[in-house]
Structure 1
């Protein structure tokens, strides 16, 4: 049986910026807040961390800082996927050397590889490292998605342990859970689908909302893991308006605004992402109000 990197809620942590650089001190505080809030794993340099606009040195500084600050209290998962297999391998090797517990590798964007190309791409990355590799299927952002046959082929690789499924294609998710071996784990890649995917056998979520409400996302996944799905469903419904607001513009624009709203870090983004519209700020502010931290 392959290792399950984590069960529960992993935060896809934002990257706080300060002018032209990364605010590593603020990043430390965000990590500590996540751990104190019960987060079960931390994903650094993912989509929510604006990895596409980070330099190689910035990515490695964040990964190394995350590993050091977490200090093995929870698993650290590094986003190391790009649209170049060679670049993905180089990042994956460097992240492994920095001490991460696993890697998150997205389907190659823009290139629009065939399914055979996806198998070869992910296999080449997994061949190059010794840590577990989690696939990331998010066709709305990359223009390409995995089929269940691709998952079946990749599940045979000893280092490929599962997938962050952000397609919201429930036929695909059910086929994957039915046809792939039990050691191939499915995690929800969309906060709003967490309880539904876990009801089918998923083991948790890689969450944007956990940046704002780490304790609630941890609690939601724990209820599911304990088969308390009526309570989990009630909590999922309670979080619905917040989750919808966090995706009213492309991620991570709203969650960066939410972090600033709560005074957790700067809301700075890197172009081509820019601050959200006033209309959506009003929606976000209203959705955040029930979760405002006590002073």
Structure 2
């Protein structure tokens, strides 16, 4: 299925059972709700998906199960976060074999590659696959920035088509657009900068709290892209305390706790992660409870034009 790099693309969590196996029933429940809310794609195996702890067989199950579930409704994209070029090529080959429609790619993990090494890494993988690629540009968390000159070199590969923009610099959206026009699609990768990014011209939003609040997330995107800025901003302001749960080392636990509150997930995480405990759990739960108490109605919003 062709990937259109726009709209809301949830980086979904991986659901586990108490016995630390994949909970496919709960996982598919969440996927169905995402699709029904109007998301534009499903991203598997990101940080929220606890990719670093997933086994290869589990990744295959998640991709094949998701592809079978969504059919032709939305594309399925899997994240590649590998330590070696050889491993990234193998991951891209597996993604195609499993039935994924596209890739989200991080720079090399653990090793802080220089500019030439990073460009070579992305280039070799892009040249090895026909799948479309979204580069994940997150220097804050991963230590490597993909700069405009680097994108200039990378865009000679037609399957490098989008960037998950997570530099935390909103002005970078304008620089990317000025430099590359529509050749490079831009998706916001930071929940707390989503409204600002969409107003600045981002094409989409790779979202985290969407896992628990899909309708509100899609509504903000739709309102912002159709010029209903006041309504989008009001909804975004309500959402902000929740969105801040995504910019935390415990974002997986935070968002899974939110999924429990909305009936779309469980708290089970894979070790070494542990569910939130003590005062921090109480703090996060208060944020979630307050948001649910004040949850706005969407029925009166301009969501049809």
TM-score band by shorter chain is over 0.9
Q: Would you say the 8 A contact 1:246–1:284 is kept in 2?
A: no
Q: Partners in 2 of 1:111 and 1:281 — Cα distance?
A: 33
Question: How far apart are residue 284 of structure 1 and its match?
Answer: 2.2
Corresponding residue number in structure 2 for 1:291: 292
Question: How far apart are residue 245 of structure 1 and its match?
Answer: 3.2
Q: Partners in 2 of 1:281 and 1:40 — Cα distance?
A: 32
Q: Would you say the 8 A contact 1:46–1:78 is kept in 2?
A: yes
Greater displacement, 121-130 / 175-184: 175-184
Greater displacement, 212-221 / 142-151: 142-151
Asked if residue 103 in structure 1 is aligned to residue 103 in structure 2, the reply is: yes
SS across alignment from 2:151: helix
SS across alignment from 1:157: coil
Q: Partners in 1 of 2:56 and 2:108 — Cα distance?
A: 17
SS across alignment from 2:90: helix
Question: How far apart are residue 249 of structure 1 and its match?
Answer: 4.2
Q: Partners in 2 of 1:140 and 1:268 — Cα distance?
A: 27
Runs of 4+ in 1 over 6 A off after TM superposition: none
Q: Partners in 1 of 2:275 and 2:136 — Cα distance?
A: 26
RMSD: 2.0
Q: Partners in 1 of 2:10 and 2:118 — Cα distance?
A: 26
TM-score (norm 2): 0.89
How do 1:1-295 and structure 2 match up within 5 A? 5-18=4-17, 19-289=19-289, 290-291=291-292
Q: Partners in 2 of 1:245 and 1:47 — Cα distance?
A: 14
SS across alignment from 1:82: coil
SS across alignment from 2:272: coil
Greater displacement, 205-214 / 271-280: 271-280
SS across alignment from 2:251: coil
Which ranges of structure 2 fall in alignment gaps of 5 or more residues? 296-305
Q: Partners in 1 of 2:4 and 2:82 — Cα distance?
A: 21
> In the TM superposition, what whole-angstrom CA distance separates every residue of 1:174-215 from its partner, at most 9, and x where no partner exists?
322221242201100011111111112111111001001101
Q: Partners in 2 of 1:169 and 1:42 — Cα distance?
A: 25
Q: Partners in 1 of 2:42 and 2:234 — Cα distance?
A: 25
Question: How far apart are residue 246 of structure 1 and its match?
Answer: 4.0
> In the TM superposition, what whole-angstrom CA distance separates every residue of 1:115-136 from its partner, at most 9, and x where no partner exists?
1111111111111111210000
Q: Partners in 2 of 1:227 and 1:194 — Cα distance?
A: 15
TM-score (norm 1): 0.92
Q: Partners in 1 of 2:131 and 2:26 — Cα distance?
A: 28
Q: Would you say the 8 A contact 1:126–1:160 is kept in 2?
A: yes
Q: Partners in 2 of 1:60 and 1:140 — Cα distance?
A: 29
Question: How far apart are residue 10 of structure 1 and its match?
Answer: 0.7
Q: Partners in 2 of 1:259 and 1:4 — Cα distance?
A: 27
